[in-house]
Amino acid sequence: MAETNRKWVLRSRPEGMPGPENFELREDAVPQIADGQFLVRTLYLSCDPAQRAWMSRDTYVPMIPIGDVMHSGATGRVAQSKHSGFREGDLVSGMFGWQDYAVSDGRGLMPVTKLPPGVPIASAMSALGVTGLTAYFGMLDVGKPKPGDGVLVSGAAGATGSIAAQIAKIHGARVVGIAGGADKCAWLTGELGLDAAIDYRSERVARRIHELFPKGVDVYFDNVGGEILDAALGALAVGGRIVLCGAISSYNATELPPGPRNYTNLIVRRGRMEGFLVTDYAARFGEAVGDLAGWAAAGKLRDRIDVVDGLENAPDALRRLFTGENVGKQLVRVAEPPEGR
Shortest distance (Å) from residue 42 CB to its own copies: 28
Q: Please choose, from the candidates 81, 68, 18, the residue with its C-alpha nearest in 3D space to the C-alpha of residue 318.
A: 18
Between 111 and 239, name the residue whose CB sits nearer to its own copies: 239
Query: Residue 155: left (phi > 0), alpha (psi -120 to 50), or beta?
Result: left
Q: Rounded to whole angstroms, how far apart are CA atoms 304 and 299?
A: 13
Q: Using the rule CB under 8 A, is 329 a contact of its own copies?
A: no
Per-residue x/- marks for its own copies, 47-86, CB under 8 A? Answer: ------------xx--------------------------
Nearest CB to its own copies, comparing residues 258 and 299: 258
Q: Which stretch binds its own copies (CB under 8 A): 64-72, 97-105, 197-205, 246-254?
A: 246-254
Q: Is 263 in the site for its own copies (CB under 8 A)?
A: yes
In angstroms, the Cα distances linking 193 to 8, 128, 176, 196 are: 39, 20, 10, 9
Please give the residues from 191 up to 230 whose contact with its own copies meets the rule CB under 8 A. 225, 230
Name the phi and psi angles at 231, rounded to 5. -65, -40
By CB under 8 A, tell whether 271 contacts its own copies. yes
158 binds its own copies (CB under 8 A): no
Q: Residue from 260, 292, 328, 329 that binds its own copies (CB under 8 A)? A: 260
Q: Does 284 bind its own copies (CB under 8 A)?
A: no
User: How is 55-88 classified by DSSP, letter by letter?
Assistant: HHS-SSSPPPPTTSBPP--EEEEEEEE-STT--T
Bridge partners, 5 (sequence order): 28
Q: How many residues bind its own copies (CB under 8 A)?
A: 32
> Minimum distance from CB of 79 to its own copies (Å)?
35
Q: CB-wise, 275 or 310, nearer to its own copies?
A: 275
256 binds its own copies (CB under 8 A): yes
Residue 79 DSSP class: E
Amino acid (1-letter code) at residue 6: R
Instruction: Tell me the torsion sign for CA atoms 232, 234, 236, 241.
Output: positive
Tell me which residue of 46, 64, 47 sits closest to 55, measured CA to CA: 64
CA distance 7 to 145: 43
Which position among 268, 282, 297, 307 is part of the footprint of its own copies (CB under 8 A)?
Answer: 268
Shortest reach from residue 137's CB to its own copies, in Å: 11
Q: Are strands 91-94 and 74-81 parallel, antiparallel or unpaired?
A: antiparallel
Residue 60 vs 310, nearer CB to its own copies: 60
Distance from CA of residue 146 to its chain's centroid?
A: 24
Q: Interface with its own copies includes 269 (CB under 8 A)? A: yes
DSSP string covering 190-217:
TTT--SEEEETTTS-HHHHHHHH-TT-E
Contacting range for its own copies; rule: CB under 8 A; set: 5-13, 31-39, 121-129, 239-247? 239-247
By beta-carbon proximity to its own copies, the closer residue of 32 and 264 is 264
Q: Which residues bind its own copies (CB under 8 A)?
A: 59-60, 225, 230, 244-247, 250, 256-277, 280
